[in-house]
Structure 1
Amino acid sequence: MLTDQIIETVVRAALLEDAPWGDLTSQLLIPETAYASARLAAREPGTFSGGAVFTAAMKLTDPTIVVDLALEDGGRFEAGDTLASVSGPARSVLQAERVALNLVQRMSGIATLTASYVAEIAHTSARIVDTRKTTPGLRAFERHAVRSGGGHNHRFSLSDAVMAKDNHLAVLTAQSGLSVTDALLAVRAQLSHTTHLEVEVDRIDQLGPVLAAGVDTIMLDNFTLDGLREGVEIIAGRAIVEASGNVNLGTVRDIAETGVDVISVGALTHSVRSLDLGLDVVVDAAAGPGAVASGAEEPTAP
């Protein structure tokens, strides 16, 4: 969940990285009394995400900056649309610009890509989910962006659920001497009834032993379409079926039509292109205390 505390922590760190001793250029070129208004403008169509993050970048730089969002997260927009309006001390707006744009562009890029995947499988009951292949430090932001695009989140971290992959099972069975079924049953016996247990398989013959352990989700990893259909038929509703691997916009529709419940897509966060958004600034020629750029709200003087 993207909380105010997470937003502030990440944005403050980004602002400090970008201007550890202030914005030297603006301090030297821009009069201290200059005020500016600006619009967050879309250069291409997409799905918006990161309004609260964009606002935080501005207001943590200078609390007197006023930000009016024109669109909620998840809203669609076209090229040329205004997504937000900003007004305040020109130095502060210019200092916050890059960090604010970097974050909202990436989040909107993720939301837009996610929305494309969701649209491809809208005629099925499957859902699109993300993975842990996120940018370190930005997971909450990127996961929020996936939800903005109509997708869903996988486990947030290693602490949230048990997800046994081939390497886990290889070590577990070798060390314990137990069968896969008995090893998974021993794991289940240690878990709270609220903790989810997922197991990855990469062959059809692995399904029987895993199903016998009563797991919650089975991930069919890198299966062919015929293999996915066979897996869904064998599992027969006894566990949630997740498809993973070889998922892209060209394949996701066919994968969804095999009857799987969940399709995990690492590309939503690890290969996304930031959306082309810009901050168009208009400086007020009056440039005096209390002067406001045309059409902007009157800010509090610094």
Structure 2
Amino acid sequence: MTQSDRPSRQPSPRPSPRQIDRLLDIMKRLRDPEAGCPWDVEQTPATIAPFAIEEAYEVMDAIARDDRDAIPDELGDLLLQVVFQARMAEEAGHFDFETVAGTIADKLVRRHPHVFGDAALDDDFWEREKEAERQRRAEYGTLAGVALPLPALMRAAKLTRRAARVGFDWDDATGLLDKVHEEIDELKAEFGGDRDRIEDELGDVLFTVASLARKLDIDPEAALRRSNDKFTRRFEAMEAMLAEKGQTMAEQDLPTMEALWQAAKKLPGMK
């Protein structure tokens, strides 16, 4: 659904705090083994977990498009994932939504002593506190706690950021760019050879590019999304130019496609 398809909304008064209680009650009803929804009842923490990632990306997309009507909808979908997981945990006797909310509230207060206490602002306090939390969870080592399920490009950037904190880093972006070229040369050397070696070297190229993005203070995921969007706009412009002539992309040879690509790049909004 596009922004133009959605019904127009006006800013509403501050929602009643009871709305969260209503949402919790709805989730409890949906999970009722006798009167609930069969699909909701059969779900487990493992089957629902992937939806949290999907919903988080839909929130990001709505924010990137500045779709003020979609943002509350998408945030609600993301909140539902928290409520769903908390309800299943409560049924199993592990924890409930109040535990989840209380845990993050306590963490925010603990991580902001300059706001909720009398400490002076300390730029390094946040990272020291996170490290202390990892140690309390028996997660030791510089790279501990970097979640495995993260998108690979995002995880690569986080891993190199952690390593950089202890001095394992290039002096500047130029050195890292040279390393990117070195990794590309190593990839080229494997062309025509073992597929596993090619995959390994290609992974090294991508990992080093993620590190370069981190060194340039650029989010590699955001940079790649931007390029994805740019490619999509230009490719669709190529198809539109051909459609005006009653032609399709599949009918064109590579030189013609390249000429169309260069023409599409020159169109307004294609930079």
- After TM superposition, the score normalised by the length of structure 1 is 0.19
Higher RCO (CA < 8 A, seq sep 6+)? 1
Whose helix proportion is higher, 1 or 2? 2
- After TM superposition, the score normalised by the length of structure 2 is 0.20
Whose strand proportion is higher, 1 or 2? 1
